[in-house]
């Protein structure tokens, strides 16, 4: 199983983490939400550190911060993620995670294209911006955040545009990625499809 990696990419709030966690639980693989790495860097930038220094000094417990899920941190993460030195500082950790014994699921923006271009399973999960904004809005409102649907939609679209057009590791499907549009798909169906793809590749 060494190096059996499931690479999941896609835009904001498409369901990457939800599907990634469920696939990992199903097969007993480890799961890494790589967005948390960039969010942790973004949080440190908001606290006054440079993005490069934050990326170079990132610690495991920086990923446990409850404040990483806010829109302000997501925006700071996306700005930091466009800096090549920040991305470079995070590559080794992600590749080591992908190569761990027992299999791994990584989700992010550049897993199938840059971090694990040889991953045996690559998924690109999308949904319309309106559906994704609605999901993120519901999630943030449930946590008590003062947000509007229009505001979340604008944030999601601005972030996707920046992530897709940056020079370094832009968000795009790998040529060999399986595309999954979850706009009208519930979580159970999305997870079942992803599990079936992995099972087929594993031959189980």
Annotated binding site for ATP: 10-18
Figure out which of the listed residues 22, 81, 116, 177 binds ligand CDP, where binding follows CB under 6 A.
Answer: 81
126 counts as binding ligand CDP under rule CB under 6 A = no
With contacts defined by CB under 6 A, name the span among 43-51, 96-104, 145-153, 183-191 that binds ligand CDP. Answer: 183-191
74 counts as binding ligand CDP under rule CB under 6 A = yes
Pick 118 or 204: Cβ nearer ligand CDP? 118
With contacts defined by CB under 6 A, name the span among 107-115, 116-124, 147-155, 173-181 that binds ligand CDP. Answer: 107-115
**Cβ density class 52-61: b for 16+ within 10 Å, e for less:** bebbeebeee
Alpha carbons 19 and 14: distance in angstroms, whole number: 10
Q: What is the DSSP string of 6-40?
A: EEEE-STTSSHHHHHHHHHHHHT-EEEETHHHHHH
Pick 92 or 203: Cβ nearer ligand CDP? 92
Alpha carbons 102 and 39: distance in angstroms, whole number: 27
155 counts as binding ligand CDP under rule CB under 6 A = no
5 counts as binding ligand CDP under rule CB under 6 A = no
Alpha carbons 24 and 105: distance in angstroms, whole number: 6
> What is the Cβ-side half-sphere exposure of residue 59, based on CA atoms within 13 angstroms?
3
Write the burial class of residue 143 (CB in 10 Å: 0-12 exposed, 13-18 middle, 19+ buried): exposed
| Distance in Å, CB of 151 to ligand CDP, minimum | 14
- Kindly list the residues in this chain that would bind ligand CDP in the complex (CB under 6 A): 10, 12-18, 34-35, 38-39, 74, 77-78, 81, 108-110, 135, 139, 159, 163, 182, 185-187, 190
């Amino acid at each position: 199983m060494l190096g059996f990696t499931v690479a999941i990419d896609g835009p904001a709030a498409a369901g990457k983490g939800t599907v990634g966690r469920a696939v990992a639980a199903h097969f007993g693989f480890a799961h890494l939400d790589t967005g948390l790495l960039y969010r942790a860097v973004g949080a440190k930038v908001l606290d006054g550190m440079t993005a490069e220094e934050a990326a170079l000094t990132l610690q495991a417990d920086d990923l446990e911060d409850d404040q990483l899920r806010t829109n302000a941190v997501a925006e700071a993460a996306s700005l930091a993620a466009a800096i090549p030195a920040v991305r470079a500082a995070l590559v080794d950790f992600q590749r080591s995670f992908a190569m761990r014994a027992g299999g791994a699921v990584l989700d992010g923006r550049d897993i199938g294209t840059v971090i694990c271009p040889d991953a045996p399973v690559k998924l690109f999960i999308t949904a319309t911006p309106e559906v994704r904004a609605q999901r993120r809005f519901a999630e943030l409102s449930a946590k008590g955040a003062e947000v509007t649907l229009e505001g979340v939609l604008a944030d999601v679209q601005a972030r996707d545009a920046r992530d897709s057009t940056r020079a370094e590791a832009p968000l795009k499907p790998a040529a060999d990625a399986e595309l999954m549009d979850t706009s009208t798909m519930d979580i159970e169906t999305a997870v079942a499809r992803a599990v079936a793809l992995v099972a087929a590749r594993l031959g189980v």
